[in-house]
Amino acid sequence: MISLALRMCTAVAVLLLAAACQPKDLVHIPPAGQPLLVYGGPIVTMATTPIEAMLIEDGTIRALGSVDELLALAPAATQLNLAGRTAMPGFIDSHVHVRELGMDAIKADLVGTTTVDEMVERLRIKFPAPVPGVWLLGQGWDEGAFASRGYPDRAALDVAFPDNPVLLESLHGFAGFANGRALQAAAIDSSTPDPEVGQILRRQDGSASGVLLTLAQALVTRQVPPADEAQIEQAIIAGLRTMARAGVTSVHEAGMESRDVTAFMRLAERGALPIRVFGMLNGNDQQLMQHWFERGPLMRADGMLAVAAIKVFYDGSLGSRTAMLRAPYSDHPELANPTERISPVAVRALADQAAAKGFQMAVHAIGDEGNDRTLGIYEAALAPYPGKDHRWRIEHAQVVLPDYFTRVAELGVISSMQSSHAMGDSAWAENRLGSERIHYAYAWQRVLASGGRLIINSDLPGEPWTPAETLYFAVNRQKLDGTPAQGWYRDQALSVPQALHAMTLGGAYAAFQEGLTGSLVVGKAADFIVVEQNPMTMATSDLAALQVLDTYVAGSKVAGN
């Protein structure tokens, strides 16, 4: 461990182990301020027996101990009295799509509007001085509520925004509402036929009213230009802030496009990232990969941004029957085995380069065949580097062959799994897989039992994603409504400490940051949250309601009161 620490200190300068590095040189330092003394409630460190108080200085945990001991060290420290609430490490969500989560931030929020005038009002607030020609987007009008009293007409939108195309998505995604300029951009007029699936609603005179049902929306949405640089930055910040409020202090962004990488790097440079980001590059973009293989992994010295992994999709999903299974789908045995979404040769080439250049591989594999082949590629690419601290991972590892567990343990591959997916898929997964293979699906305890490394994350947006919900699913193997009562294949559920480990220290390790984050120990960054209840002792059936009050990154409050 020490030699590893030394190597990392000299090589990448961001990872620190107290014994080997000087933490203050490496950790993100918030504006120089007072030491902070945290006390007055349980402090879950994930590392030692409970301690009474924690002293933070320059963004780093300086000391743990009794209140008296720590006050002697820093008599003038600002005091944060937990008043019975709990402090614990911030959650690390090790598989997210935070830019997607934040994309709604560039749209006007229309939730709760009941008239077109109200929509116009919201649009005017969001876009006070729109540049002519720029698309104005909104989201959240309730198509169900409007349908019962009559769909809206675009007349008021046309009057308010004659020079800008406007497209307003509905709350549930089944309808879009466009103004005249947007319809014009999509070349929709009274002679345009309805698409095969979907409908262009019409006025009396046959002209389009602006409402587009189901797939008719695509006629307009495909005209919307991709987000510009400023919008991407705005979305990233909004997404990260949303996550910070939920108690997340680090995320792993699972697949950055070229424009995302640029945005994340610019934000990090400006000190604008509220929480830490570990980035996986989109391995399908050859130009992007060529650049990064020449450059090598990025690990910022302040620990706020790393770009050090490569993400590709080996197969599809179980729900859509595009995951690669060795034997046919149980509910559709006539289906041919789906093919790879990327050629194995291409994955092997990426893996060879990654091994040589020090990048982490993070391949999406869902089916047992997809996982088997991915693992085979990892084994072959890593064979020339015995003992290498590669920390390669498989994203999802949803259905695997029985030998998966010993192979990943031997090779040191991290299984990156989603507790929400298990619950979301539980309704039909056994239909797809049958009663035998289901025992090797979402099999978290099998990973741990064989000595494998497990991280649990959300893969947001999609399923319920807050850390509280992720934790609840992991521990209970139940949906939010408490069903099924006995838990779904509960033998694979995690204990609270196991789940918390997979959502804190596990994620830190997967980002090569276990010297910086994941637990509250002396020398690490003060990334912690204050929660209303203690997750270690509260009723497990209530975990989804764990309430996050404040979130601190490197000793600075980034969300909360």
Whichever of 300 and 421 has its CB closer to Zn ion, that residue is 421
**Which stretch, 13-21, 38-46, 56-64, 455-463, contacts Zn ion (CB under 5 A)?**
455-463
Q: How many CB atoms lie within 10 A of CB 430?
A: 17
Contact pattern from residue 111 through residue 150 relative to Zn ion, giving x for each residue in contact according to CB under 5 A and a dash for the rest: ----------------------------------------
Q: Which residues of 296-314 are buried (b: 16+ CB within 10 A; e: fewer)?
A: ebbbbebbbbbbbbbbbbb
Please state the closest distance from residue 242 (CB atom) to Zn ion, in A: 17
Please state the closest distance from residue 371 (CB atom) to Zn ion, in A: 16
Gap between the Cα atoms of 549 and 378, Å rounded: 41
Please state the closest distance from residue 396 (CB atom) to Zn ion, in A: 8
Backbone angles phi, psi at 442, to 5 degrees: 50, 40
Please state the closest distance from residue 340 (CB atom) to Zn ion, in A: 17
How many amino acids of this chain bind Zn ion (CB under 5 A)? 2
**Which stretch, 80-88, 402-410, 416-424, 452-460, contacts Zn ion (CB under 5 A)?**
452-460
**Which stretch, 101-109, 211-219, 443-451, 454-462, contacts Zn ion (CB under 5 A)?**
454-462
Please state the closest distance from residue 365 (CB atom) to Zn ion, in A: 12
Whichever of 92 and 183 has its CB closer to Zn ion, that residue is 92
3-state secondary structure of 555: coil
Whichever of 303 and 507 has its CB closer to Zn ion, that residue is 507
From the CA atom positions of the chain, what is the Rg in Å?
25
At 514, list the tokens.
């276990």
Q: Which residues of 3-42 are buried (b: 16+ CB within 10 A; e: fewer)?
A: eebeebbeebebbbbeebbebeebbbbbeeeebbbbbbbb
3-state secondary structure of 248: strand
Please state the closest distance from residue 61 (CB atom) to Zn ion, in A: 32
3-state secondary structure of 294: helix
Determine, following the binding rule CB under 5 A, whether residue 167 of this chain makes contact with Zn ion.
no
Backbone angles phi, psi at 525, to 5 degrees: -65, 145
Please state the closest distance from residue 459 (CB atom) to Zn ion, in A: 4
Interacting residues of 227 by C-beta distance below 8 A, sequence separation 6+: 103, 106, 235
Backbone angles phi, psi at 324, to 5 degrees: -80, 115
8 Å CB contact between 212 and 192: no
Whichever of 255 and 338 has its CB closer to Zn ion, that residue is 255
Please state the closest distance from residue 255 (CB atom) to Zn ion, in A: 7
Please state the closest distance from residue 254 (CB atom) to Zn ion, in A: 4
Helices (H), 383-413: 404-411
Whichever of 93 and 459 has its CB closer to Zn ion, that residue is 459
CA 306: distance to chain centroid?
A: 15
Whichever of 302 and 459 has its CB closer to Zn ion, that residue is 459
Contact pattern from residue 288 through residue 307 relative to Zn ion, giving x for each residue in contact according to CB under 5 A and a dash for the rest: --------------------
Whichever of 418 and 533 has its CB closer to Zn ion, that residue is 418
Please state the closest distance from residue 415 (CB atom) to Zn ion, in A: 15
Whichever of 20 and 460 has its CB closer to Zn ion, that residue is 460
Please state the closest distance from residue 95 (CB atom) to Zn ion, in A: 6
Q: Which of 169, 459, 469, 514 binds Zn ion (CB under 5 A)?
A: 459
Closest C-alpha to 279, from 510, 56, 86: 510
Whichever of 459 and 550 has its CB closer to Zn ion, that residue is 459
Whichever of 420 and 534 has its CB closer to Zn ion, that residue is 420
CA 270: distance to chain centroid?
A: 22
Whichever of 233 and 459 has its CB closer to Zn ion, that residue is 459
Whichever of 96 and 238 has its CB closer to Zn ion, that residue is 96
Gap between the Cα atoms of 59 and 321, Å rounded: 47
Gap between the Cα atoms of 165 and 157, Å rounded: 10
Contact pattern from residue 315 through residue 354 relative to Zn ion, giving x for each residue in contact according to CB under 5 A and a dash for the rest: ----------------------------------------
- The greatest distance separating any two alpha carbons of the chain, rounded to the nearest whole angstrom, comes to 82
3-state secondary structure of 228: coil
8 Å CB contact between 367 and 394: no
8 Å CB contact between 278 and 309: yes
**Which stretch, 329-337, 408-416, 417-425, 458-466, contacts Zn ion (CB under 5 A)?**
458-466
Please state the closest distance from residue 261 (CB atom) to Zn ion, in A: 17
Interacting residues of 471 by C-beta distance below 8 A, sequence separation 6+: 419, 496, 499, 500, 503, 535, 543, 544, 546
Closest C-alpha to 77, from 39, 43, 103, 114: 39
Site for Zn ion in 218-257 (CB under 5 A): 254
What residues make contact with Zn ion under the rule CB under 5 A? 254, 459
